[in-house]
Structure 1
Amino acid sequence: MSTELPRIHSPNTSAGGAGGGGDPSSQLEMMARKVLEEIATVGTSADVQLDEYIKILAEYRDECERRAQYKEAELVQHVLKHLRLEEETRHVRGLTDQQELERRGLEEAHGLEFQNFNKIWNEKIDAFEEYQLDEEGRLLERHSNELSTFHAEMTNTEPRHVKYSKDLLNLRTIQQSLATQRAYGDAHKVKLKGDKIEAIEFEKISREKQELYERKEGKILQRHQQEFAALRKRMASRKLELERARKKELEMLLMRYNNVRRGLEAQQNIIRSKTGNLLLKHANNKKSDNSGSTVIVSSMASGAFGPSLKKRQYVEGGSPNASMQ
């Protein structure tokens, strides 16, 4: 406490009476002066038990009043006023620190919950994307095997008999007949004509076979594209469901956090408001030696601040010092 405390003058008593150990009033005076010396020496730091100081000085002030030492009583009363103010300041500071700790604890708990939420959902998304890649890989492998089988079948399968036109067959018959008749010159001319027609027809047959091959291959590739597109569409739909579920769960998490935060803020506002009102009311009470902190703790224990604070006050033991730490 920065304010210098007034010095208390010794009463007009004999030296023997002042120092005698048998006189209760003298012992009380010695205890009061020891308290004042400690206050002057070490001050009123946080580890000093102000309630004990106040109790001793209040008793000494009452003793001075009984002795009609009003000047002395007024000086002690002035010290008591400062001690009460210091204890109330401690309480307000402790209340502020406690509420800040509660808010920080809420933020840290929410941060950990949010980290855990992200961790779980990142694992879910990663697992789904890995599953999607596996499904696509299996489908592509099946398509590749199917196409390879088709190519092998088209390559290795040759028609057993090529069906030529009647004109070519007639020319071959005439060619054979001329050769049988040993008309080799005419047979040769017919053969050349037939060979030319056969080459043209063979090319046509090969071209038609290639076109058939390409049409079948095109249908297979088109079906493969449709199957792959359908798989991608199913996977996109399932991923969208995952993202919607994640968004909904995140909204619930944030809503729960906001509800808890608003509840905590409302409770803390009530505590600050009632604390301020009680301290103001107590400051106007000149007859009480108790600090405002004692009144506040008593009110908390009675349930004036709400059932939750009454329960917490009961758990903490209900002492003024417990509420100030």
Structure 2
Amino acid sequence: MSQDPFPNEPKLNTANEVDQYIKTLQQYQDSCEKSSEYMQADAAQKRIVELKKQLKCNKHTANRNKKLKGLISTILINSTNSGIRRSVEQELLNKQQNEYNKVSEELESTISQKPKESSDRRIFGQIKEVSISIIFCYVDAQKIKEQRLLIEDADYQKYQIERTNKINTQLKQLKMRHKNEVNNLQQRIKAGQDEQKKNRSLELEKLLQKYQNIKKELEIKQKMDKLAFEGQFTNKGSSNQSVYMSQM
């Protein structure tokens, strides 16, 4: 079991912490080189490469999440507009399709079309050369050539199947990641819509309550105004009656 060359490595939770630790490892690597501790220098160099790959991967993921959050923010602001929602979802699907096409082309171009020469093919090639140069037997050389072609064809067919399976596996994983991204986007959109519906419902309740309060205040004021208006005539009538009685 191999021993961890950096057992006291700190926890690296942020990109800045990773950058600082890479600088520390680089200083350590330089120190090991100067003191001829080449195994330690090699371990430090390998760890630096791993951390840089990790940092690059994390930055790529962060950029994707940032773009995804931007799309989500756009849809949340206009969640009541189904046309905008479809537009944002389609934009994500278009980006995913472009990425799929790019990855597919890269896999087709980077993975060799032909298999490496197998040991059986090399052996038959060597036997053919010996048959011609030493034994000088064209018949045997022809048979060896045919056998070698059969092996070459079998190797090619087997490799094509393996190559296709490898490409399909990676593309299948990419499709699964894209599907998860779409599901995540739709869930966030729905959550945003539900939150906005809840907020609108609360706002509507507040408006209704405010309306009821204003209506009640108006009814009270109208009632008081009516009483005051009727009181004027009652007082006026009582006053006239008093005058009339005093004249009798």
The normalised TM-score by structure 2 is 0.56
Q: Which residue of 1 aligns with 2:195?
A: 241
How many residue pairs get matched? 167
Which secondary structure state, in structure 1, belongs to the residue aligned with residue 106 of structure 2? helix
Q: Provide the rounded CA distance (Å) in 2 between the counterparts of 1:269 and 1:125.
A: 46
1:174 aligned residue:
127
- 1:39-50 matches, cutoff 5 A: none
Aligned to 1:260: 214
| Alpha-carbon separation, structure 1, partners of 2:87 and 2:166 | 34
The residue identity in structure 1 corresponding to 2:170 is K
Change in 2 beyond 3 A, CA 1:279/1:269:
same
Which residue is equivalent to 1:251? 205
Match of 2:100 among 142, 147, 152: 147
Q: Which residue of 1 aligns with 2:28?
A: none
2:182 corresponds, among 228, 239, 260, to: 228
- Which residue of 1 is the match for residue 165 of structure 2? 211
SS in 1 for 2:116: coil
The aligned counterpart of 1:93 is none
Deviation at 1:152, TM superposition (A): 1.7
Amino acid at match of 2:92: L
Higher radius of gyration, 1 or 2: 1
Matched residue SS, 1:159: coil
Task: Name 2:116's counterpart in structure 1.
Answer: 163
Question: Higher helix fraction: Structure 1 or Structure 2?
Answer: 2
Contact kept? 2:100, 2:174, Cα under 8 Å? yes
Aligned match for 1:193, one of 134, 138, 147: 147
Letter in 2 for 1:213: I
Shift of 1:161: 6.6
Q: CA deviation at 1:287?
A: 1.1
What's the RMSD between the two structures over aligned residues? 3.2
Superposed counterparts of 1:43-122, under 5 Å: none
Structure number with higher relative contact order (C-alpha < 8 Å, ≥ 6 residues apart): 1
1:183 aligns with: 137
In 2, distance between residues paired with 1:130 and 1:199?
Answer: 55
Would the alpha carbon gap of residues 277 and 253 (structure 1) be closer, same or farther in structure 2, given more than 3 Å must change?
same
Offset of residue 206 of structure 1: 0.9
Runs of 5+ unmatched residues, structure 1: 1-123, 291-325
Q: How many angstroms apart in 1 are the aligned matches of 2:225 and 2:192?
A: 49
Aligned counterparts of 2:150 and 2:113: Cα–Cα separation in 1: 22
> Using a 3 Å threshold, how does the CA distance of structure 1 residues 131 and 227 change in structure 2: closer, same or farther?
same
Query: What fraction of aligned residue pairs are identical, expressed as a percent?
Result: 23
- Check 1:289–1:142 CA distance in 2 against 1; reply closer, same or farther (3 A cut): farther
